[in-house]
Structure formats: structure tokens, C-alpha cells
Amino acid sequence: MLKLPTHNRYDFSPIEKRPDFSWPGGKRLAFYVALNVEHFAFLAGRGADPTQRSGPQTQRNYAWRDYGLRVGIWRIFRLLDQLQLPMTVLLNSLVCDGYPEIIERIRLRGDDVCAHGRTNAEALGDLWEHDEAAIIAEVTQTLTKHVGARPTGWMGPGAVESRVTCDLIKEAGYTHNLGWPVDDQPIWMRTRAGPLLSVPYPMELNDIGTNVHRDHTGQEFADMIVEQFDELVEQSAEQPLVMSVSLHTFITGQPFRLRPVRRALQHCVGHKLKDRVWYTRAVDIANYCFTLPPGTIVGG
């Protein structure tokens, strides 16, 4: 019988056959915004490009992404301040060295910082284990120094992992991972050092995939947010669920995209069923799961 290459991180588990529980305060849907704050190499390495997708890096492409740190992120900060929404920041550690004003604002807001590698100009999936472990250690040390608290969540650049990434981040002291878009609930994953929690993070409800790779408009992305929220907030009456919206400073930070996303997030915070919703951060979801009785979260 043919057996395909696979992994042993988790077992199959139908969502309809799992234990029921609620989020804090009896809430049923945990909702968080994830903002990717990334730094890229000039004329080198990897990086998204909306017009020349397989071409070399250029000064124009670098500048388009750097716009997100100079302009876009400040508009997103203002939007989330206005909506009183907390945030999880997926932070490249090299941002800490060149953009201290951004780190100061993140600290002032009290955002959850999730380690996001050194830079999205590199991928960690093809490295030797020793080299990947060294980068994880460097990222952890840098973020701890500049942010003022040791990060406990991880998602690698581009959400790309090697076969041992989960093992390495668990061994480095991380408690949860955002790199596996496998479920609408947190699940426990196996590592050689013990269980690691997977917190849902979207592959599709993500502006880089939607607006850059699939050429959807800002309004189409906003419609996706609204439809996802409306569907999940209704389904959460039967199952505790997680919804995340993934943004990038240089994509949603563009004014013509920010405007429809603002309307979509206003819909989410003003929804008629908002009393069911826990507006939170990824780290808070993880920490709450750690308090639940064994067996409540599947896997492990």
C-alpha cells in the first residue's frame, strides 16, 4: 500500500467530536488581528513583488515594502487605536535595530510580540538544524532585549518550517506556534521536547495572499473578513472558535486598501453578536488554553 510522506505532529480529529468549552467570560469566538512587521534586504534575498513575481529584487520593490514601515504601520496603529483593538505583532527581529520608534509604539500599546525570524528576506526551511537553532536563539535574544519581554509565540518568515522547527522552538522555550493553518481551534502538536500549542493563523484571510498573490482588491479582502466573521460568530454557538485577520504594513497600509479594511473591522467590533466575541491576542489565547483541564484541547 502506498504511504505518502507525512509527519507525526498531530492526529486527525473531526471538529464536531471534540470537548466543548468557552473562552473567558463565556465568549465563544476569539478574534485577533495579526500585523506582520517585516524588514527586507536591499537588492538581495526574498521578498514579495506585486508586478514581477518571479523576478530579481529591485530598488522599487524594496521601497514599496519600506513604505509599510515609514507610513503604512502608523495608519494601522491609528486604526486599531480608534477601534480599541489589541494586536499580535509578528515581528522580524532586525526591525528592532533600525526602527526604534516602531518598537516604542508596540510597547506603548502593549501588543503581543510573536517572533517572526530575523527578516523575511530569508527562509529557514532549508537550513541545517544547528544553523536554524542559532537563528532562533538570536531572534529570541534580540526581541527580549528590545521589546522588554521574552516572546513565547513563533512563526517563521513566510510561515516556512523545516522538519525540526517545531522541535527547535519548543526546546528554545516557545509555547505556541502560528505556522500551521490547520484548524479553527487551537490544537496540541507533538515535539521531541513535549507538546507545543498551535494557535490558528490564516493562510487565506491574509492580505499578502489575497491582494498580492491572487490580485483581489482591497474591497474583496474586506468582504472576506466580513463573511468569515459572520459565519464563525454564528457557528461559535456550537463550537468555541478562533478567527484571525493577517495584515502587512506595506499592503493594508496602502490607503486604498486601508479604507475597506477599516469598514470590515468596524463591522466586526460592532456586530450584533459581539457579546459572543473575545477581542484578544494570540498569546492570550495560548495562555488561556494552558489553564484548561487536560483533554479539553485536542492532541498532545
The total number of structural domains in the chain stands at 1
* Domain assignment of residue 49, yes or no: no
Judge whether residue 262 has pLDDT over 90.
yes
* Domain assignment of residue 300, yes or no: no
Q: What does the alpha-carbon distance between residue 115 and residue 91 come to, in Å, rounded to a whole number? A: 6
| Burial grade of 216 (CB within 10 A; 0-12, 13-18, 19 or more) | middle
Q: What is the pLDDT of residues 43-100, one digit of tens each?
A: 999 998 888 777 889 999 999 999 999 999 999 999 999 999 999 999 999 999 999 9
* Domain assignment of residue 6, yes or no: no
* Domain assignment of residue 1, yes or no: no
Long-range residue pairs from 143-146, CB within 8 A, at least 24 positions apart, any chain = 143/91, 143/93, 143/96, 143/113, 143/115, 145/96, 146/96, 146/100, 146/103
- Select from 173, 254, 243, 163 the least CA-distant residue to 208: 254
* Domain assignment of residue 14, yes or no: no
Could you say which DSSP state residue 189 is in?
E
Give the per-residue pLDDT at 51. Answer: 82
Give the per-residue pLDDT at 105. Answer: 98
pTM across the whole model: 0.97
Q: What is the pLDDT of residues 3-50, one digit of tens each?
A: 999 999 999 999 999 999 999 999 999 999 999 999 999 999 999 888
* Domain assignment of residue 37, yes or no: yes
* Domain assignment of residue 143, yes or no: yes
Q: What is the CATH number of the domain that holds 202?
A: 3.20.20.370
Q: What does the alpha-carbon distance between residue 46 and residue 231 come to, in Å, rounded to a whole number? A: 35
* Domain assignment of residue 140, yes or no: yes
